[in-house]
């Protein structure tokens, strides 16, 4: 399910629309489905437990950690304007 770039992108975008906690959980799901928490934690200098906590709805994850995780799964954030109706 979360093994190709399109499904990963869709999963992360949909979860982000539901809020940051859902996004962090989805990011953790992507990591688990691909390289695994232990390998990624080692790559970015975290313990597995720290990374698990960071990528959970209880995580108070710094933006820099999110960027490191996104880099590791070869994804990035794109900013687009939000148009609101008045």
What are 49-86's pLDDT values in tens digits?
999 999 998 888 999 999 999 999 999 999 889 888 87
Nearest by Cα to 23 from 77, 72, 79: 77
Class of domain 5-72: mainly alpha
Region 4-12: what's the mean pLDDT? 94
Count Cβ atoms below 10 Å from residue 80 Cβ, excluding itself.
5
- How many Å from the N-terminal Cα to the C-terminal Cα in the chain? 39
- Ordered by start, the domain boundaries in the chain are 5-72
The predicted model scores a pTM of: 0.87
């Amino acid at each position: 399910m979360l093994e190709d770039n399109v499904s990963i992108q869709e999963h992360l975008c949909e979860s982000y629309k539901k809020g940051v906690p859902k996004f962090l959980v989805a990011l953790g799901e992507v990591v688990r489905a691909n390289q695994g928490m232990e390998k990624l934690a080692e790559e970015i200098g975290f313990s597995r437990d720290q990374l698990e906590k960071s990528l959970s709805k209880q995580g108070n994850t710094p933006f820099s950690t999110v960027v490191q995780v996104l880099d590791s799964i070869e994804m990035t954030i794109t900013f687009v304007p939000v148009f609101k109706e008045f």
